[in-house]
Amino acid sequence: MKTSALISLTPQNWKYFPDFDWEAHRHHYFCTGVFFGSRDIFSLDEYAEILDLMSREPRLFLLGDQGMLNFMLCRAADSGRIRLGQESIQLIVPDWEQQKLQEDFRFERVEPCYSGKDVVVHWCGPNKPTFESSQVYSKAMTFFRRKFIQDANRNYLQAQTSSNQPSVNGLSLMESMQLKSEDFQYYMLKYKNKMLRKLRIKQKIYT
């Protein structure tokens, strides 16, 4: 079986899109963990048609929606409906050492120090940027999570600040507790899903 960044190229799969030149787009792809776009580039009918195909052939596109969206863009470009360009705007965290990330995304207490680089950070992979994680550099994510908490609880936080509530590493006690609570829910769901997968595998073995 040959593969591209978009699709598993088996004889069975080639039949669905016989006019599409897979080889021409072997190196034309983007990671869909981070992207932005405009409305109405694709019709809902086209999207629904491919989703229906994916429900019947779940291994057709690599990495689920990533292969599907890359395919849709490349096919639209081939037909002249859109023009494609490439620009490096995404930083994929597992590709870099923590020390390099700490240098590029420095903080003074809880405030970021702009380094002159405009990028979008993608925390892909198994290690997520939880509040107290030591396996991945998480200060940038903590900054935006904290900002969301502040925006969502602005009146409460103003009252808390004026009453000189204690802080942890520059974060108020309420912010710290909320971040830890969210992380706890994330880990509970993560390990629950792991256990369910193991149970399904055992059921297949013994049935």
Burial label for 88, CB within 10 Å (0-12, 13-18, 19+), is: exposed
Instruction: Identify whether the C-beta of residue 135 lies closer than 8 Å to the C-beta of residue 126.
Output: no
Residue 7 structure tokens: 């699709």
Mean pLDDT for the chain overall: 77
Residue pLDDT, tens place only, 167-206: 555 667 778 888 888 888 887 888 787 787 777 776 766 6
pLDDT at position 158 over 80? no
pTM beyond 0.85: the answer is: no
CB contact burial 141-150 (16+ within 10 A = b; e otherwise) = bbeebbeebe
CA–CA dist 195, 24 (Å, integer): 42
Give the tens place of pLDDT for each residue, 47-68. 898 888 888 887 777 776 788 8
